[in-house]
Chain A
């Protein structure tokens, strides 16, 4: 009876798809005609929306009218909005409930039997190749669907409040539902091909939502950048899938992973092939999950609405790479080189983007670099074989980073679109709910004991030190990044909520706490940010690591390797490292306190003391500029060359040349036609004479 719910697994992605269909109908046939009519009539309030819409819809209205609600009265909201506001989050909520029941049904089975594949229909079939449309529920994908639908639902609810005054309300929810659908396809698909479809789908939705306010050039550019950079990674992923099919003769997870031991023994699956496959997969992960060197799109992606940043660019889509690496853990374990690459790239990204986070002044950009850095942690975990820790951090990060983004959205909402932390301050009493929830999330990301971030981050650091694939250097880098994380996160909190107000007086008048539709998701996420880690309390702290136990069937090999290394290390050492990382985090917090609360003039002095270094970090190490010169400009110039020299000169030259030749020949030949009848008669005669002469002479 309990197991029957698993047969309804298809509902999990189908419900958001239903939302897409209905909402897009509304967006196309109800909302779009209305917006077009507004544009034609040139409504006065609309001009302000065009400029205010850059940061977010309600902001500019907030400045023109004392209360957002007051302005709403002059704009009777069309009836379809209510339907969208219920349906958009509703389908995701329903999907969450189905996921929850399905996961409970899965949990009721014995651990070794926790794998359920539901084949819907044969999808691609060609010769020996077959890829059915099938969903696979196992411990790993169950964690993912719970995070995607659960956090996704809260963010959908939050969006109803945040986007309530935006013009294209229905379009927004179409994209958001479509994203949820694609993401669920990605994590639930039972083969690499379906995963790729979801992979591309979330990329498309990311593009659409970054460029949601497409009237603004920077938003449109950012969307384009994200799309193009992701294509680089997708290419690697696709080639890897081809290689997998070529090697294993299948793209179905269960078949591929079952064939690994046999093929490895018979010598078909050499370390070289495994390394090639895993490195190419990692190229895909690097693109999607914004790791060095393809991380550049994520900070720019902050041009999108803040709930989008929370859902796509913090909690779910960017973690797809981590999910993919974890899913293919059996292959990675055959390729030590790939593991090392993953770990080193992860650690390098973690510390590199953390240092950029120190100097950013845009509240969302700090969080963006923080996300890149935390994703680096997850890859570090995967790279040292601690896939469980990576997924664990993925989950807790989804909670606290979504909360941080939504909190920053609430701040931005209150400040009428202001994102510059230098123009904030002293908001803690005026936005109490936002402050408390964001503070909890900051504690969690900083790794304060007892909160979710502590357990996952500490497990990663411990594994990076103790695991068979680990290295003390990785641990050092990770710990340093943890300290920097604590520093810049507390810098953010101090600048935003403490100290003197540096707001524009005009903006300050209208500061208000956000509506319940926004604060309730904040509170729920705060609870998760605190308690989300309690499912994985390490044994040393007297806990029981339910999370590791739950994922054990998926990561059988990985857990083995990690445990093997762990066995050599003593509990005392684990305590010591734990204390060390907490100490580093506290140092970071203390330093932030000193610099941004006690001696607020010091940061300026330091910046003046080392102007070169400060500018370097402030400008993100000029990576965008370097890429521009080294790659973008070259490609653009190469394209211009191809256009001018190859297409315009060569290809068009051939076509136009033939045309000119025929034209010239015709020009000569037409002179034969004199128009004088006598000439024609003469040529007729000559022809006849020649013909007759020929016949006779024969």
Chain B
């Protein structure tokens, strides 16, 4: 069995890219995509560690996450479309009504 450190490094890099996208980008669509990148970073880590430990639980979790991510993407995109219809923008700095 190979060492998982390389996979874990990849996972960390992917996660960092996702985080940076979520925090820094203004486009809600990009933010959603960044969230997907973070999910996949986690998936990589699950499968790598699962394969290293010879445990199938990691792979099962990866499938689970993918299912949830698909559902999340569907709901997120639907919300984005609804917001766009209302505001004609998906710039999240403009969508700041949830405040004082």
Contact = CB atoms under 8 A, between A and B. Distances in A.
Interface of A: 670-671, 673-678, 681-682, 685
B19 A685 contact: yes
Contacts of A670: 100
Nearest to B22: A681
A675 B26 CA distance: 14
Nearest to A673: B99
B97 A685 contact: no
Contacts of A676: 92-93, 96
Contact of A671 (B23, B26, B97, B100): B100
Interface in B4-24: 19, 22-24
A297 B80 CA distance: 83
B31 interface: yes
B99 A674 contact: yes
Contact of A673 (B19, B93, B100): B100
Contacts of B23: 678, 681-682, 685
A670 B100 CA distance: 6
Contacts of B24: 678
B70 interface: no
B93 A678 contact: yes
Contacts of B19: 685
A670 B98 CA distance: 11
A677 B79 CA distance: 15
A684 to B, nearest CB: 9
B22 A675 contact: no
B68 to A, nearest CB: 18
A416 to B, nearest CB: 75
B92 A678 contact: yes
Contacts, number: 30
B75 interface: no
Interface residues of B, number: 14
Interface string B51-65: 000000000000000
A675 B97 contact: yes
26 contacts: A670-B100, A671-B100, A673-B98, A673-B99, A673-B100, A674-B96, A674-B99, A675-B96, A675-B97, A675-B98, A675-B99, A675-B100, A676-B92, A676-B93, A676-B96, A677-B92, A677-B95, A677-B96, A678-B22, A678-B23, A678-B24, A678-B92, A678-B93, A681-B23, A682-B23, A685-B19
Contacts of A677: 31, 92, 95-96
B63 to A, nearest CB: 25
Interface of B is mostly: loop
A677 B31 CA distance: 10
Contacts of A685: 19, 23
Most buried by A among B24, B92, B95, B100: B100
A671 B100 CA distance: 7
Given A675-B100, A678-B92, 14 more contacts: A670-B100, A671-B100, A673-B98, A674-B96, A675-B96, A675-B97, A675-B99, A676-B93, A676-B96, A677-B31, A677-B92, A677-B96, A678-B22, A678-B93
Contacts of A682: 23
Contacts of A678: 22-24, 26, 92-93
Interface in B21-48: 22-24, 26, 31
Nearest to B19: A685
Contacts of B22: 678, 681
Nearest to B97: A675
A162 B93 CA distance: 89
A682 B93 CA distance: 14
Contacts of B97: 675
A678 B94 CA distance: 11
A677 B96 CA distance: 7
A675 B19 CA distance: 19
A675 B22 CA distance: 15
Nearest to A671: B100
Interface string B71-100: 000000000000000000000110111111
Nearest to B31: A677
Nearest to A689: B19
Nearest to A670: B100
Nearest to A674: B99
A175 B95 CA distance: 75
Contacts of B95: 677
A685 B24 CA distance: 12
A346 B23 CA distance: 96
Nearest 7 Cβ contacts at the A-B interface: A675-B99, A675-B96, A670-B100, A677-B92, A673-B99, A675-B98, A676-B96
A678 B96 CA distance: 10
A463 to B, nearest CB: 88
A420 B23 CA distance: 97
A189 B87 CA distance: 86
A676 B93 CA distance: 5
Nearest to B34: A681
